Structures are given as C-alpha cells and as structure tokens.
Amino acid sequence: MSSFSPWLRNVGAVALLGMVAAAPVAAQQRNPLQKVGETVLDQPAQSYRFERFVIESGEPARRWRVNLGVPTRTSTTPSPVLYMLDGNAAAMVFDQALLSDLAAHAAPVLVFIGYDNDLRIDSAARTLDYTAWVDTADDETGTPQSSGGGAQAFLEVIQQKIKPEVERRARVDTAQQSLWGHSLGGLFVLSTLYTQPTAFQNYVSASPSLWWSQGAPQGAMKRAFLAKPAPANVWLMLGGDERSGNRGVRDMSNPRVVAHLRRIAGAAPDAAHVLSERLAKVPGVQVTYREFPGLGHGPMLPASLKATLAALYGAAARSRPAPAGAADAAAE
C-alpha cells in the first residue's frame, strides 16, 4: 500500500499527459514573481498584534522572515501555536474577521515562516528547505538538474532558532504545537513527522508533493517511521481534482509545463489518500483525511489553511476567493 509500481506510475503519466494535452490551451501557471501586497500583517492591531523578526543561518548566510501574531486579549494560560510554512502566502489567507474569530475561540499564536523578501512564494528557497531528498530531473531543455535536500537543516533552524525566539516573544503551550504546510510544504510536514515526530503534536500536510524525487517520500524514511512510530495527530488534505488526476488546463506547448508534468508522475494522484489509510493503521497515530471536491492544487493552499484553523482552533469555515495568482499550478 505504501508504494506504487513503475507500471502504475507510467500509466498515470500517460493518462495525465493525454488528458491535459486534449484540453484547450490556456495559461494557468503561477506567477513566480508575484508580490505579497498588503495583508493583516500591515494593518493596525485589532484582535491580534503582529511583530516581525529575521533569522539568519548557514554559510553562506540565508535569511528567514518570521511574522508573529499574538492575540491582544490577555490570558492566564499559555496559547496553542501554529507554525505555517510559505508564510507570505499564508498571511494572504487571513483577514480581520478570521483573526477576530480565532481570538474569540482558542486564540492561537500564529507563526508565519517565510523568506526575507516580498515574494508570495519563493520557489528556489522553499525547494531547498522543504525537501528531505535531492531530486534530479530533466528541465525543459532535457538537461538533468538537481535540487532540494535541505529539510533537515531547515528543521534545525525551526527547532533551534525560530521556536526559541517565538517562545521569548509570546507565551505558548509547547504541548500544543502544530505545523501546517502545502505542496512541498506538505512534504516537509511529513518528513518532520517521520524524522522528529515529537517536534510538534499536530501535523497538517496539504496536497503533499509525494512525487518528489521519483516518489522517494514513499520509501525508506516513511518505512522507518512506520516501524517505530511515535504518537502524533496527522491531517492529510487533498483536492478532489488532485486525487482524480485532473491538473486543469495546461499549455502543452510550453516545455517547462511538460517537464513538470513528467516529474509529478513520480506518485499516483491519490498517493496522499493511500498514505492516510496506511498511517491510520499505526498505533498512536491519529489520522484525519479530508478531501475538497472540485479543488485543484493551487486553491488547496487557502482552503487547507482555513480548514486547519477550523479543525484545530474552532474558527468558522469561511468562503473567500483564493488570492490572485493562486492558480492550479501554485506552489508546486
């Protein structure tokens, strides 16, 4: 159940490429240079106040910008804390009504982990940080390119630098720590679960990129965790269109699109659902699987984050258009 044969992967790839090739050509690619714009982080404090700090690490030095949201309501007890990857994009999901709702319920501390720039998604940086495996694949010219493999180093940054600074600035309950990520971020959530399952208590993996490195996330690291699991609460979320293999309308005349579709054939479209069934059988691991009918990959970022806030902290589910640029290819 935890792996797929090359035959199945090839069949899936052929079917996928045939499906998108037959569709009318229209651009649905994420703009890699999209800026964040104004968010609740820039607005006057109401139910939450926000502050910012920058973490620097590595040689040569790399910089992560962390925005911290602290409820303005005073409390006598420590607050649960939610760490969110792709922090700039995550911030775009929030509005004052959602923050007010959160403050009226569990009032979690909100930690937006991004990069020290104004990009909605920093593709190069997240590709390095969110992947525990090096991926080598042909680019649009057919030239092999290798990327990724920095997840362990990034987790150390979170554990040793970001968390201590958060705990210095806000009163958090270290027994109620949650990690949310989408796409490659969802993959990082899973590799963290597999390698340091006590780092957080709640793991929310949305649309995880299980195809990365020819399906390596379905291999030895996962099996090691299954052989010696630790208690954890896991949410796996997937768009209905993702599970069916519907990647939307793609420009098959674009070599970059074709190269990307070839890469994502490294896992079956329903691999996250299959993984949820496997994890649910593991003692001590509580698994919740949720599918979002009609949603593709990009729209799953805001949908999964709002669903996380509802499931963990009692915020009302809100219907709100996806932010501009959150096309189906977003954050892949």
Q: How far is CA 213 from CA 89, 138, 267, 332, in A?
A: 25, 12, 10, 13
How far apart are alpha carbons 332 and 326 in whole angstroms? 11
List domains and CATH numbers for the chain: 6-313 (3.40.50.1820)
What pTM, to 2 d.p., does this model score?
Answer: 0.86
Q: pLDDT tens, position by position, for the chain (332 residues)?
A: 333 223 223 333 333 333 333 333 333 456 778 899 999 999 999 999 999 999 999 888 999 999 999 999 988 899 999 999 999 999 999 999 999 999 999 999 999 999 999 999 999 999 999 999 998 876 667 777 788 899 999 999 999 999 999 999 999 999 999 999 999 999 999 999 999 999 999 999 999 999 998 888 888 899 999 999 999 999 999 999 999 877 666 666 776 676 677 777 778 889 999 999 999 999 999 999 999 999 999 999 999 999 999 999 999 865 444 443 344 444 45
Residue 183: CB atoms within 10 A of its CB come to 26
Residue 319: CB atoms within 10 A of its CB come to 6
